[in-house]
Amino acid sequence: MSRDPEEFMNDLEKLFDETGVAIFKDIQFFIDSLVLRPPKAAGYQAATMATQMLQPIAKRAEFVWKDSKLATITEDYPSEINVITFKRKGGKNVVIGGEKYPPFYSFLGKNPNRPVVTADVFDVPIHTKERPSILRLSKPVKEHFLNPDVSTNPGLWAKKHVEEFGADMITLHFIGTDPTLPEKEGGNQSVRQALEHLEQVMDAVDVPIIIGGSGNHRKDVELFTGVADMIAGNRFMLSSVELDTYEKIVPVAKKYDQIVLSWTQLDVNNQKKLNSEILDMGLSKDLIVMDPTVGPLGYGIEYSFSVYERMRLSGLKGEETLAFPMSGGTTNAWGAREAFMADKLRPEWGPRAFRGPLWEILTAFILSIVGLDLAMMLHPGSVAGFKDIIEKLSAPKPSKPVDGLKWITMK
Amino acid sequence: MPKLSPLNVIPLLPGTNCGQCGEQTCMSFAVKLLDHLIELKECKPLFSEKKYAKKLKKLKELVTPPIISIKIGTGEKQISIGGEEVLYRHELTYYSPTAIFVDVNDEDLDDLIQRTEFVKNYDWIRLGDRINLQGIAVRSLSGNPDTFAQAVKKVLSITDLPIILCTLDPKIMEAGLKVTKNKNPLMYTATKENWKEMAKLALEYDVPITVYSTDLDELKSLCVSLENAGINKIVLDPGTIPGEGHIGETYSRHIILKKSAIEKGDKSIGYPTIGIPAAVWMDQDIKNLSLGERVTLSYEEAKLGTILISHATNLLIFHTAENWFMLAIGVVRQNVYADPRINPAVEPGLYEINNPTPESPLFLTTNYTMTYFVVKGDLEESRIPSWLLVIDTEGIGVECAVAGGDLNVDAIKEHIEKYKVNEKVKHHGIIIPGLAARLQGELEDSANKVVIVGPRDCGGIPFLLEKRWNLEKIEELWQEMQS
Ligand code: SF4
């Protein structure tokens, strides 16, 4: 028991008064230093001395409320992230960018637009035993699209994403246009086939669309050029341009007023370089989104995390070549074995039905805390889970206070 | 507070370049000191020679982190939280990973035992790092000091992990402290209402104490009042409140505290922080929730935990004690606290795994650290002697490297030559990752190899070898290719 110092001194004096002896046992003194010498004389003299020596207790262990104030945090972010508007003629527009502060720093102010979701659709059906295909999706993902099978028609697939699962936009990945992939599994498709698929999606949904290439550089140029007429009048996004391909693709974007996705791989300097090359070619800065590459949770997100964070902070601090909204293929999360591995192979990881979608949500969410504006996602549960937390985080400050200590006594 | 540079440190070192610290010069010592690669005490002259006493004192002040470290628990399982010097991890690694605690209450003893066992046994290795949990937060639900003391005792009988005693009632707190004597538990929590009694207990039992307020001025006042009473082992709880709008405010409060301590140098709140994702369960009738409702709440708890871990909240208390949940939280923490200075690329080359012979299978992958470690780990675990050709893709994983063109046939051919693969491996087969399947045709034509497309995940390698690795057949195929 610690005691009130004053009371303690009173007791001590009383003790000396009555007995002339004081025995210290089992007490701790919370003072800097204390020297106890045998009293030169008994009685009051010693008591007075003790009083003087013990003064620090009263001084240190004093329980008085000290009103203090935390200095307000003011931070100067001189620049803003460019605003990008995806436009769908006769349909919905989607706006990203325009940030003035780091994500969710509501103590500084509110950013105008919140992160959004674009959902993946492909130009080949999902691989099944009966139907070999280049598109192999993990079980927890594909079961949402195979029953009924919407994967044979990108339009139906897109519709499901938008109407049932709440995606803000659709990315149509033309992976089947890669000429090096086998035809019998959906590869080596012509641009004409691509146009058909695009038409199906445009007819089915009224949201902006992202045109995803196959990664085959030559074919991508053909693809982006080929679809340009069909998408003219809308403002979609060509995904993506790289250091090897921008020279051919940027002119298409410029001519048809399309956005480009400037893609580099976890390298801030390369990203600056590519962006400034694109700007130098005369593409307006409200037509550029960048993607520095997503390493999924568990397999490199630490690199992406720091690259996204550095780029966003530099953009806000005035680095013009980095002041663009950021996109990311958070679908990559399904490449993590913690997300896709079957329960029987890893019983110690718990049910995949729970860990899988969570993996994709956390991959998208943790990057949105450092600047991701556009999450490319796949699993309907992940889309919902991601959008939910973004909404809760972006909602205005509630007026009613909540007792944050109730958790101590929750049942 | 601006980040320290070696130039701030140099004038305070002896400057003799004597080399006793193992460094060539005082300059390189200074650089390493700031990067936490060497400890101050390694500069022996600084401590042994009296004339450096003043410098030493200044230096100690200078390198004391703006957020001090607090120890909880004792012995082997003791943890130390706090001590970070930056808010953005790309500036300097976060050092002490967020401690993860799980709550138990004092009314349901079966549940308490089960949860405590879970925490105690949750311990595994992932890609070289240990993933485990740090302690138990015991809540007084009963409101009865004896019941609480019994519950704490029960936990102590199961594990020597650090403990947090959670109650607002000083009498109950004291009952808990009595049974945790010398175990250095963390008190949770002092508030504006109970702080005097709680402070006395913290002094008497000499243990760290949490202060709680969602009003940061009040929180700071609590700190200053405790400091004034001679207490300096403090942990800050600015409140973790779930739900719309509240989550944003919660994150903001945590960031403000870190910024005030680290960037503004406010010493009076330079303490570690605690977050309570478990609070998502606080208004729920937990026992009567459906499975779906439970999972939804666990997801919310995981997201709340993630945003707090992302900017270095030092200790978190969770309620969900399940494998799938801790898997995600454990990996989020592992990744956030990974050293960003570690190069994402490993050396390219031909690696030997499990003492291969010239007949052993040859695998190919990229030099992205993650990919490399996963493939290597799986091959080692399978005990299959094999060769692993690691291609320089500048630290990019297979899928992106194929898409971006870093992993291409020419690059593979160059590596085969450079690392003398054909001298060491005497067959003509090569197994490429499933994600690089599209390289198969071209690679067969131009590298003159029989290319086998492996699984998309290397976990499937043993299965592949069993079903499809047949040396005779590979050589037959190769002969055919030659004609
Ligand atoms: S031991 Fe100290 S004085 Fe000697 S070189 Fe190292 S830092 Fe300099």
For residue B246, list chain A residues with Cβ-Cβ distance below 8 A.
Answer: 392, 398, 402
d(CA B49, CA B43): 11
Given CB atoms, is B244 within the 8 Å cutoff of chain A?
yes
For A325-370, write each residue's pLDDT tens digit.
999 999 989 988 899 988 998 899 999 999 999 999 999 999 999 9
Give the pairing of strands B163-166 and B135-139.
parallel
Q: Per DSSP, what are the bridge partners of residue A41?
A: none
Which of B214, B246, B283, B322 has the highest number of chain A CBs within 10 A, making it the mutation to test binding with A? B246
Looking at chain A, the number of H-run helices and the number of E-run strands are: 12, 10
Mean pLDDT of the region A102-114: 95
Residue at a domain's end among B63, B78, B110: B63
Judge whether B262 and A391 are in contact, CB under 8 Å.
no
Do B308 and B362 sit in the same domain of this protein? no
**Lookup: tokens for B129:** 């790092």
Residue B14 CA, closest ligand 1 atom number: 3
Cβ–Cβ < 8 Å for B421, B363? no
**B69 in contact with A, Cβ within 8 Å:** no
Q: Give the pLDDT confidence score for residue A33 in this predicted structure.
A: 35
For residue B29, the CA-to-ligand 1 centroid distance in Å is: 7
Cis ω before B210 (30° cut-off from 0): no
Give residue A229's identity as a one-letter amino acid code: D
Give the minimum alpha-carbon distance from B23 to chain A in angstroms, rounded to a whole number: 30
Q: What pLDDT, on a 0 to 100 scale, did the predictor assign at position A26?
A: 45
Residues B358 and B289 in one domain: no
B294 shares contact with chain A (CB less than 8 Å): no
pLDDT tens-digit series, residues B291-306 = 999 999 999 999 999 9
**pLDDT for the residue A52:** 45
Contact B407, B436 (CB under 8 A): yes
Which residues form the pocket of ligand 1, taking CB atoms under 6 Å from any ligand atom?
A: B 13-14, 16-21, 23, 26, 29, 43-46
Q: How far apart are CA B349 and CA B443, in angstroms?
A: 18
Does residue A367 sit in helix, strand or coil?
Answer: helix
Tracing tokens 């879970």 back to the chain, one arrives at: B118
Q: B272 and B182, same structural domain?
A: yes
Element (H, E) at A262: strand A259-263
Residue closest to B397 by CA, chosen among A62, A336, A318, A135: A336
Identify residue A93 by its one-letter amino acid code: N
d(CA B37, nearest CA chain A) in Å: 20
- Residue spans of the domains in chain A: they are 5-58, 83-393
Reply yes or no on whether the pLDDT at A155 is more than 90.
yes
Could you report the per-residue pLDDT of B317-358, keeping only the tens digit for each? 999 999 999 999 999 999 998 876 667 788 899 999 999 999
Sign of torsion over alpha carbons B376, B341, A303, B122: positive
Which residue has its alpha carbon closest to ligand 1 atom 7?
Answer: B26
Claim to verify: residue B113 and residue B95 sit in the same structural domain: yes
User: What angle separates helix B246-262 from helix B291-310, to the nearest 10 degrees?
Assistant: 20
- What CA–CA distance (Å, rounded) separates A253 from A258? 5
* Contact criterion met (CB below 8 Å) for B436 and B398: yes
Count of beta carbons in the 10 Å neighbourhood of residue B15: 12
Q: What's residue A300's pLDDT?
A: 85
B255 is a domain residue: yes
Using the beta-carbon criterion (under 8 Å), do A354 and B331 form an inter-chain contact? no
The model carries a pTM of: 0.84
B328 with B364, same domain?
no
State mean pLDDT over A291-301: 91
Total number of domains constituting chain B: 3
Nearest to A404 among B139, B188, B214 (CB): B214
Distance in angstroms (rounded) separating the CA atoms of residues A108 and B478: 66
pLDDT digits (tens, 9 = 90+) for A12-40: 555 545 544 444 444 444 443 333 333 33
Residue B40 is part of a domain; what is its CATH number? 1.10.15
DSSP label at residue B269: G
Shortest-distance Cα residue to atom 3 of ligand 1: B14
Is there a contact between A314 and A322 (Cβ–Cβ < 8 Å)? yes
Run of H or E including B105:
strand B99-105
In the block, residue with structure tokens 């707090």:
B308
- Buried-exposed string B179-218: b where 16+ CB fall within 10 A, e elsewhere: bbeebbbbbbbbbeebbbbbbbbbbebebbbbbbbbebeb
Residues A180-219, buried b or exposed e (16+ Cβ, 10 A)? bbbeebbbbbebeebeebbebbbebbebbbbbbbbbbbeb
User: What is the secondary structure of A181-239 as a DSSP string?
Assistant: S-GGGT-S--HHHHHHHHHHHHHH--S-EEEE--S-HHHHHHHHHHHHHHHBTBB-EEE
Number of Cβ atoms within 10 Å of the Cβ of A66: 16
In a domain, B343, yes or no: no
Residues B115 and B203 in one domain: yes
pLDDT(B138) > 50: yes
Query: Does A405 contact B396 at a Cβ distance shorter than 8 Å?
Result: no
Angle between helices A352-368 and A301-316 (to 10 degrees): 30
Confidence at B454, pLDDT banded by 50, 70, 90: confident
Above 60 in pLDDT, residue A200? Answer: yes
- pLDDT, residue B435, reads 85
Asked if B98 and B31 sit in the same domain, the reply is no
Q: Calculate how far, in angstroms, residue B43's C-alpha sits from the geometric centre of ligand 1.
A: 5
Say how far apart CA B90 and CA B253 lie, in whole Å.
22
Range(s) of the domain holding residue B454: 349-482
For ligand 1, atom 4, name the residue with the nearest CA: B18
Chain B, window 97-126: residues with a beta carbon less than 8 angstroms from a chain A beta carbon:
103, 105, 124, 126
CATH number of the structural domain spanning residue B357: 3.40.50.11600
Give the model confidence (pLDDT) of A62-78 as tens digits. 899 999 999 999 998 99
d(CA B335, CA A365): 14
Do B354 and B324 lie in one domain? The reply is no
Buried b (16+ CB within 10 A) or exposed e, B144-176: bbebbbebbebbbeebebbbbbbbbbbebbbbb
Ligand 1: centre distance to CA B17 (Å): 5
Across the range B384-393, mean pLDDT stands at: 92
Ligand 1 midpoint to CA B10 (Å): 10
| Calpha distance B253→A73 (Å, rounded) | 11
Cβ pair A325, A84 in contact under 8 A: yes
Out of B17, B31, B33, mutate this one to test ligand 1's pocket (max ligand atoms within 8 Å of CB): namely B17
Residue with tokens 């370089």: A273
CB B319 within 8 A of CB B100: no
How far away is chain B from the Cα of A111, in angstroms, using its nearest Cα?
A: 12
Q: Which chain B residue has its CA at the smallest distance from A386's CA?
A: B303
pLDDT tens string B227-283: 999 999 999 999 999 999 999 999 999 999 999 999 898 999 999 999 999 999 999
| Domain end (from B336, B366, B381) | B336
Nearest to A105 among B143, B255, B306 (CB): B255
Output the CA–CA distances (angstroms, integers) from residue A410 to A404, A406, B100, B103, B287, in the order listed: 11, 6, 19, 11, 11
**A243–chain B nearest CA distance, Å:** 10
Across all residues in chain B, what is the average pLDDT? 91
B447's CB contacts (< 8 A; 6+ apart) are B409, B412, B413, B416, B430
Residue A234 pLDDT greater than 50, yes or no: yes
Cα of B13 vs centre of ligand 1, distance in Å, is 7
Q: How far is the CA of B81 from the centre of ligand 1 (A)?
A: 30
- From B233's Cα to the closest Cα of chain A, the distance in A is 14
Asked if B324 and B353 sit in the same domain, the reply is no
How much is the pLDDT for B178? 98
φ/ψ (deg, to 5) at B252? -60, -45
> What pLDDT shows up at residue A331?
92
Q: How large is the ipTM?
A: 0.85
**Residues, chain B:** 483
Amino acid letter, residue B354: N
Q: Give the Cα separation of B199 and B229 in Å (integer).
A: 8
- Is the CB of B438 inside 8 Å of chain A's CB atoms? yes
Q: How far apart are CA B33 and CA B408, in angstroms?
A: 42
In a domain, B341, yes or no: no
Of B200, B331, B371, the CB nearest to A2: B200
End-to-end, the C-alpha distance of chain B in Å comes to 73
User: How does residue B14 score in pLDDT terms, banded at 50, 70 and 90?
Assistant: very high
Asked if residue B319 and residue B248 are part of one domain, the reply reads: yes
Q: What are phi and psi for residue B165, nearest 5 degrees?
A: -100, 120
Can you read off the two tokens belonging to residue B436?
A: 């690089």
Helix (H, G, I), strand (E, B) or coil at B364: strand
Do B97 and B240 sit in the same domain of this protein?
Answer: yes
What mean pLDDT, rounded, does chain A reach?
A: 88
CA distance A379 to A384: 9
B377 pLDDT band (50/70/90 cuts)? confident
Task: Report the relative pairing of strands B69-72 and B123-126 from DSSP bridges.
Answer: unpaired
Tokens of residue B200, six digits: 């006395």
- pLDDT of amino acid B331: 96
Per the CB < 8 Å rule, is B400 touching A178? no
Distance CA A125, CA A142 (A): 10
- According to DSSP, the residues that pair with A173 across neighbouring strands are A122, A212
- Interface residue B344 vs chain A (CB under 8 A): yes
DSSP 8-state code for residue B96: S
Q: What is the pLDDT of residue B463?
A: 76
Do the beta carbons of residue B194 and residue B168 sit within 8 Å? yes
Backbone angles phi, psi at B202, to 5 degrees: -60, -40
Please indicate, yes or no, if residue B1 is contained in any of the structural domains. no
Show the beta-strand stretches assigned E in B379-465: 386-391, 429-432, 450-453
B229 and A CB contact within 8 Å: yes
The reply to whether residue A265 touches residue B394, judged by beta carbons under 8 angstroms, is yes
What's the CATH number where B293 sits? Answer: 3.20.20.20
CA dist., res. B30 & res. B32, Å (int): 5
What is the predicted pLDDT for the residue at B85?
79
A265 to A248, A253, A274, A335: CA distances (angstroms): 20, 22, 11, 17
Residue B345's DSSP bridge partners are: B368
Helix %, strand %, coil % for chain B, to 5?
50, 15, 35
DSSP state of B279: G
B401-429 pLDDT, tens digit each: 888 788 999 999 999 999 999 999 999 99
How far is the C-alpha of A169 from the C-alpha of A146, rounded, in Å?
21
What is the architecture of the domain spanning A83-393? Alpha-Beta Barrel (3.20)
Residue B344 covered by a domain: no
Q: Which residues of A touch B140 (CB under 8 A)?
A: 408-409
Average pLDDT over residues B66-82: 94
Tell me the C-alpha distance between B278 and B286, whole Å.
Answer: 12
